[in-house]
Amino acid sequence: MDPNSMQQRMTQIQQDESFSGVLGKLLSGKSGYKPVIEKKFVPIICVNCQKILEDTFKFCPECGTKVEKKVAN
């Protein structure tokens, strides 16, 4: 499974109301509890070999390509 489809699937699951309801009940023990789900994870993917990288990497450990980080506007 490629990284883009994994991220899209994770986003779909988190936006599903039944997921947040079940997660809320697991966390609090009460039905109807709405948890806050952080959505900060943005994967950095090597443009050369498509490896998912940590945000601290300056070069890809797989192929050595310099990591280009996009700046959020």
pLDDT digits (tens, 9 = 90+) for 34-70: 766 666 667 788 999 999 888 888 999 999 999 887 6
pLDDT at position 4 is 76
- Which residue bears the tokens 């050369």? 48
In this structure, the answer to whether residues 56 and 34 fall within a common structural domain is no
Please give the residue range of the domain that contains residue 67.
42-73
Claim: this prediction has a pTM higher than 0.85: no
CA distance 72 to 57: 18
In this structure, the answer to whether residues 35 and 63 fall within a common structural domain is no
Write out pLDDT tens, residues 57-66: 899 999 999 9
- Which residue bears the tokens 């506007």? 73
Are 51 and 60 spatial neighbours (Cβ–Cβ below 8 Å)?
A: yes
In this structure, the answer to whether residues 33 and 49 fall within a common structural domain is no
**Domain count across the chain:** 2
Q: Residue 72 pLDDT > 60, yes or no?
A: no
Query: Which structure tokens are listed for 15?
Result: 């936006």
In this structure, the answer to whether residues 54 and 30 fall within a common structural domain is no
Nearest to 72 by CA among 53, 44, 46: 44
Query: Which structure tokens are listed for 25?
Result: 């009940």
In this structure, the answer to whether residues 47 and 34 fall within a common structural domain is no
